[in-house]
Amino acid sequence: MDHYFQDPNDLVFDTRLEIRGNVEHIIEENKERFPEPFRSMDLYMVQTIFKGALDNAKMRVRRSYKIAIPQYYRGRMQLLLPICLSNPNKADIALTIEKMEGFYRASTILTLDMAYNNARQIARPDKDWLQP
């Protein structure tokens, strides 16, 4: 029997690990996945807003494990984190993170529709995050 995961710990965000990622690269490669007006902003401004939203997501996931939602991608489990750019209580995009040796690697962003399609929910998400 095939399984999506080997270790159940991979389904829950480990608050002891930091999140690392090349924010500039993530934004430049996925600008079309951002909602307006962020697509037309200069890179520095989007980076600044994105980094603040990522800090907010880190605080939220530390308060509630249900914030990080698992997804299965290319044979590995990843977690989706809500990135709230325009309203601190409503996700605009999702950041994918993957557990590495001793940290999480942020790899890309997804639209909310993409994230909803990929999600493997193990608990009901917060009301402002991944609703059909």
Sketch the domain layout of the chain as residue ranges.
Answer: 9-118
> What does the pLDDT read at residue 44?
95
Enter the tokens of residue 82: 């809500």
For the chain, residues with pLDDT lower than 50 are: 1, 122
Are the C-beta atoms of 115 and 83 separated by less than 8 Å?
no
Q: How far apart are CA 70 and CA 122, in angstroms?
A: 8
> What does the pLDDT read at residue 100?
92
- On average, the pLDDT of the chain sits at 85
Give the type of residue at 87.
N
Selected from 3.30.530, 3.40.50, 3.40.1000, 3.30.2310, the CATH number assigned to the domain covering 9-118 reads: 3.30.2310
Strands of 1-132 (E only): list them: 18-20, 69-73, 76-83, 93-99, 103-111
pLDDT of 3-36, one tens digit each? 555 665 666 789 899 999 999 999 999 999 999 9
Give the torsion sign (CA, 100, 55, 130, 43). negative
